[in-house]
Each structure stands twice: as structure tokens, then as C-alpha cells.
């Protein structure tokens, strides 16, 4: 692992707030939509950069739907850490739980981003119960760029302790 750069991949269901989060961190981030193969299927992903302390952070947002497993596999190559974005305004879906367990089983440092905490009905406590066992948890509203940046900064510091 290059000690001055970190590749962080952002996972999460469609609509969890991945694009909003990456754009909040890096207003110059790119949202990329690519046609794949002979089908009309479009894969959407995001890419943004940030500096945290002296580290160059490269953030990659993955496509959320299950059928984009192949694209997630490619984007995941060489990742140093992962963030799982969860929408706290609704029940935790099976896709999010599956990704959570897969990432927990891997050796990759994982942070849980509990998003949309600005919404009155949001229930981050429920998400914590549904996705137990991880200590890097950040409650944010990706609509508030400062809370997104603070969560990323804390995550990078948290994982730097174990590098």
C-alpha cells in the first residue's frame, strides 16, 4: 500500500446517498455513466478526490443495484478501505446486509456511514442494531458537506491508527 494515498470505495444501495456524499467531499467530483456491452444497461459510478492530513484520498462510488456486481468487482480492485452508506430513513435492505457481511469478512477496513440523519424520521439506532459488530460508525447528512468531510476525516484517522 502506498503510504501517501488511500483508495476508498463507497458501497451502498441505490439512493443511499453515495453520489451526494462524494460530491460533498469533492465538488469537482465526476459522476460517470457508462453503457455496458450490447445491452442498454447503464452503470453509474462516481470519482472524487480529497486531502486528509497528508494523505491523497481517492473516492470511488459503486453502482448500487445487485446486477452491477461485475462493476463493483472491478472498482474494488486495490481498495485500501471501504465505506458503506446506509439510508437511515428506511429499513436496512438485504443488499446492504449482504455487502456489509462480505466486507466485514474481508480484511479491508470498513466504516459505516449512517446517512440522512437530518430527516426527522431517520433511525440510526435501528441501523446500528441491524448491522452490528463494526466500530467505525459515522452519523451524517450528506446534504451538509461539513458533516460528510468530518466523517471522512474521522474514518481516515481511525484506520490510520491500525495501518
Indicate the SS3 state at residue 87.
strand
Residues of span 7-36 touching ligand GDP by CB under 6 A: 12, 14-20
Phi, psi of 16 (to 5 degrees): -70, -25
76 or 119: CB nearest ligand GDP: 119
Residues of span 32-61 touching ligand GDP by CB under 6 A: none
Among 115, 131, 138, 139, binds ligand GDP (CB under 6 A): 115
Torsion sign (Cα): 27, 159, 119, 46 = positive
115 near Mg ion, rule: CB under 5 A: no
64 near ligand GDP, rule: CB under 6 A: yes
Q: Residues 41, 92: contact at Cβ < 8 Å?
A: no
CB of 67 to ligand GDP, least distance (A): 14
Torsion sign (Cα): 69, 90, 20, 56 = negative
The size of the interface with ligand GDP (CB under 6 A), counted in residues, is 16
Per-residue binding string, Mg ion, 12-51, x by CB under 5 A, is ------xx--------------------------------
Contacts of 64 (CB under 8 A, 6+ apart): 12, 13, 14, 15, 16, 18, 95
Amino acid at each position: 500500500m502506498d503510504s501517501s494515498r488511500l483508495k476508498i470505495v463507497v458501497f451502498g444501495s441505490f439512493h443511499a446517498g453515495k453520489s451526494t456524499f462524494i460530491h460533498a467531499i469533492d465538488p469537482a467530483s465526476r459522476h460517470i455513466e457508462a453503457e455496458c456491452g450490447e445491452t442498454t444497461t447503464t452503470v453509474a459510478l462516481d470519482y472524487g478526490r480529497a486531502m486528509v492530513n497528508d494523505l491523497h484520498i481517492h473516492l470511488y462510488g459503486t453502482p448500487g443495484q445487485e446486477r452491477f456486481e461485475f462493476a463493483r468487482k472491478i472498482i474494488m480492485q486495490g481498495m485500501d478501505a471501504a465505506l458503506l452508506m446506509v439510508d437511515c430513513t428506511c429499513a436496512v435492505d438485504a443488499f446492504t446486509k449482504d455487502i456489509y457481511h462480505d466486507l466485514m469478512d474481508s480484511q479491508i477496513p470498513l466504516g459505516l456511514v449512517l446517512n440522512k440523519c437530518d430527516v426527522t424520521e431517520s433511525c440510526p439506532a435501528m441501523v446500528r442494531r441491524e448491522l452490528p459488530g463494526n466500530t467505525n460508525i459515522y452519523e451524517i447528512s450528506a446534504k451538509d458537506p461539513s458533516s460528510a468531510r468530518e466523517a471522512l476525516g474521522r474514518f481516515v484517522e481511525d484506520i490510520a491508527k491500525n495501518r
